[in-house]
Amino acid sequence: MKKIGVLISGGGTNLQALIDSQGSVLTSGTIVCVCSNNADAYGLERAKKAGIPTKIIRKNADCGGDTDEFSRQICDYMKKMRVDIIVLAGFMSICGGELLKEYADRIINIHPSLIPSFCGKGMYGLHVHEAALEYGVKVTGATVHMVNEVVDGGRILMQKAVYIEDGDTPEILQKRVMEQAEWKILPKAVELVCSSD
């Protein structure tokens, strides 16, 4: 059984999907901790309700705004919790430094578009759906991929397409992409990684 550490920043619906999939889709790994860079993230409540230990590490307040220190503190916590695989489930900060080195090829991210469209620096959360609607694509979706030093550039594990409909707003589209794609492929992809090797 692999030990999974989840990093979040907000609502935590993808974290919830992972929690709910434990024992059904996700059978080769168990979530042992949830870490947030935002003290107000509702996902922290979801973790507490599920009895999962939580930790808050803020880049500015706890790490003096230093990216390397932020990365080191997250890495230290993950190691302390004996985490094997890290899942970025709506984590809105770029991770680098020690974390990427220590957990090379063991960090998974979910991105709300079909990579390589609408990804990279500055493309996160609602911005991604705004960009897709502005461009006028008819199909979007979600991608689960491994994390490396290139933002949204690691090996793709799974993707699922979602149709754009007339009258979509970024909020409506975000909800459809979550429901039809993200919450389905994230648990499957995490199981894939946990059950390999």
Walk across the sheet containing 85-88 and list its strands.
Answer: 54-56, 29-36, 2-8, 85-88, 107-111, 139-146, 156-163
CA atoms of 40 and 33, how far apart (whole Å): 17
Nearest to 18 by CA among 117, 144, 120: 144
Residue 111 lies near ligand GAR (rule: CB under 6 A) = yes
- By CB under 6 A, tell whether 12 contacts ligand GAR: yes
Instruction: Kindly tell me which of 103 and 124 has the beta carbon lying closer to ligand GAR.
Output: 124
**Which of 82, 165 has the CB closer to ligand GAR?**
165
Rg (CA), the chain: 16
Binding pattern for the stretch 149-188 against ligand GAR, x by CB under 6 A and - elsewhere: -----------------------------x---x------
Nearest residue to ligand GAR by CB is 90
Residues forming the active site: 111
Residues in touch with ligand GAR (CB under 6 A): 8, 10-14, 43, 89-90, 110-112, 124-125, 128, 178, 182
